[in-house]
Amino acid sequence: MFDCELTRERVMNTIQPGAKNFLNLSIDALVQYALAQQEGVLAANGAFLALTGKRTGRSPKDRFIVKDAITEKTVDWNERNQAIDNDVFHRLWNKAQQHLVKKNLFVSHLAVGADARYQLPVTVITEKAWHMLFARHLFIRTFTEESAPGSWTLLNASSLKLDASADGVHSDAALILNFTEKKILLCGLDYAGEMKKALFSVLNFLLPEKDVLPMHCAANEGKEGEVALFFGLSGTGKTTLSADPERYLIGDDEHGWGKEGVFNFEGGCYAKCIDLQKDKEPVIWAAIRDGAIMENVVLKSNNEPDYHDATLTQNTRAAYPRDYIPLCVESNQAGSPSAVVFLTCDLYGVLPPLAKLSQEQAAYYFLSGYTALVGSTEVGEGSGIKQTFSTCFGAPFFPRPPQIYADLLIKRLQETRANVYLVNTGWAKGPYGQGGERFSIPTTRAIIRSVVSGEAASTEYDLLPGFQLAIPKQLSGVDSYLLDPRKNWVDKEQYPLFQKRLIDSFKENFKRFQVSSEILNAGPI
């Protein structure tokens, strides 16, 4: 029943023989192993359900980068990019190896980056079968018997609990990136998204030197080859809006943009499940089936998933390969975009549902990364919703100084003349918790249709004072009163007060950036 058994030396010569290694197992075999090892259960929809314990999201305080000759002067060291000594890394790597000596290991030779010119091979080693199933879904499947030259190694010792004081870390878990040795170590972390974002961070460090902009965005393509990008933090709509029944999916979360066009970093999707509904998100609903993974989803008594139950976390997840999406771009890459969308979830309810940005405004809002934290993606965020500014719409994953990524964005926009839009998927008619209502998915889909069809590029615009944003006078399928936040508020006298609060927040946050006067003046006043 279980195939591809190999000797341990064949897989990783630094771990001594002791148990079995399984190379490049199929989806079915990995599910069988995960069930046999009691790592989770099957739900009625056929998906494998795993629980990740106390960490139901990423753990940023436990993430480190080895500080050495490569990274010392190139990484933007801060609370997100924490330095760790190379000696500490080696001690923990050896500790993980000893921990895994007598365990079954699951191994796959995979890759990240669909464009062969920039592709990064990676050998993934996990002790849990469902973690390998996740890697098989989310990364690009190369499946050779030997690791490729220059391959990175990702070692996931998920059951190894650390001693913070003795091991030189902050808790019982750690994720460490070592750029010199091309290694990623995870200890004590069951949340599978940590593996995906670790490799995303690696590409975000490496690709700017190759004149490629790494992006925390989704991408899809129309039937005529027109490409759209969707930037945004988790919960703002990247996966939902890119999974369009009328367009071809490239990817839902991580891409690179070079002179030749856009390419996906991944081979699968990692969608939020909370409040998932078949009629509103049919593509995602159908993809959660045999072989897919669900994380921390509560099951009903009949074993059906209850997507509305947030007992364990708001950050319930599903992972599945791209080929579970009926319409996807087979090559996993495409040409340059004609439309770039910044998705923001505005809690104040003062931003319009659509605004067309100049290139200077694009740089300003890209560096600002204003949105809301929705669904406790990180450990310690709590269950509420709160405002945040996340540079490049993904601050935790970008090791270099943010201006490097902003400069590359402007370069790509100047080369392609792509239209850039700010789309508010958050609140209208008032603030969150004070009478406001969140834009419905059908309304936002109508907004996006106007963008990808080209209607938004040619319609008439008014100027929204304060934010200096160009807002459309009308769009097909959208009530006109929703397009101007000054008009849709229930208590119109309160709008200027909340507008000023948000503008003040933008100005305070932007003090940390050194930019040209053109970009600075493109912000709200």
The verdict on 240 and 121 lying in the same domain is no
The verdict on 177 and 225 lying in the same domain is no
Residue pLDDT, tens place only, 97-142: 999 998 999 999 999 999 999 999 999 999 999 999 999 999 999 9
Last residue of a domain, one of 142, 157, 190: 190
Residues 239, 344, 444, 450: which is the catalytic one?
Answer: 239
Last residue of a domain, one of 190, 221, 251: 190
pLDDT-flagged residues of the chain (< 70)? 1-18, 375-384
The verdict on 120 and 218 lying in the same domain is no
On whether the pTM is more than 0.85, the answer is yes
The verdict on 350 and 392 lying in the same domain is yes
Predicted local distance difference test score (pLDDT) of residue 234: 79
Burial (Cβ within 10 Å: 0-12, 13-18, ≥19) of residue 469? buried
Predicted local distance difference test score (pLDDT) of residue 377: 62
Question: Is 276 inside any structural domain?
Answer: no
Residues 8, 58, 80, 137: which is the catalytic one?
Answer: 58
Question: Is 391 inside any structural domain?
Answer: yes
The verdict on 109 and 221 lying in the same domain is no
**C-alpha span between 392 and 378 (Å, rounded):** 17
Question: Is 203 inside any structural domain?
Answer: no
Whether 317 is catalytic: yes
CATH of the domain at 156: 3.40.449.10
The verdict on 149 and 223 lying in the same domain is no
**C-alpha span between 332 and 262 (Å, rounded):** 9
The verdict on 360 and 470 lying in the same domain is yes
Predicted local distance difference test score (pLDDT) of residue 326: 94
The verdict on 360 and 500 lying in the same domain is yes
Question: Is 185 inside any structural domain?
Answer: yes
Question: How many domains does one find in the chain?
Answer: 2
The verdict on 146 and 258 lying in the same domain is no
Question: Is 310 inside any structural domain?
Answer: no
Question: Is 82 inside any structural domain?
Answer: yes
Residues 80, 196, 197, 400: which is the catalytic one?
Answer: 197
Last residue of a domain, one of 156, 190, 224: 190
From residue 511, alpha-carbon distances to 14, 354, 494 in Å are 48, 26, 27
CATH of the domain at 369: 3.90.228.20
Pairing verdict, β 174-178 and 183-187: antiparallel
Pairing verdict, β 152-157 and 120-126: parallel
The verdict on 174 and 255 lying in the same domain is no
Residues 236, 253, 346, 449: which is the catalytic one?
Answer: 253
Whether 99 is catalytic: no
**C-alpha span between 191 and 58 (Å, rounded):** 7
Residues 109, 216, 255, 449: which is the catalytic one?
Answer: 216
Question: Is 123 inside any structural domain?
Answer: yes
Query: In which domain, by residue range, is 90 found?
Result: 5-38+59-190
Predicted local distance difference test score (pLDDT) of residue 381: 53
The verdict on 430 and 384 lying in the same domain is yes
Whether 239 is catalytic: yes
Question: Is 34 inside any structural domain?
Answer: yes
Residues 109, 128, 238, 412: which is the catalytic one?
Answer: 238
Predicted local distance difference test score (pLDDT) of residue 375: 55
Residues 63, 109, 317, 449: which is the catalytic one?
Answer: 317
**C-alpha span between 16 and 235 (Å, rounded):** 43
Whether 8 is catalytic: no
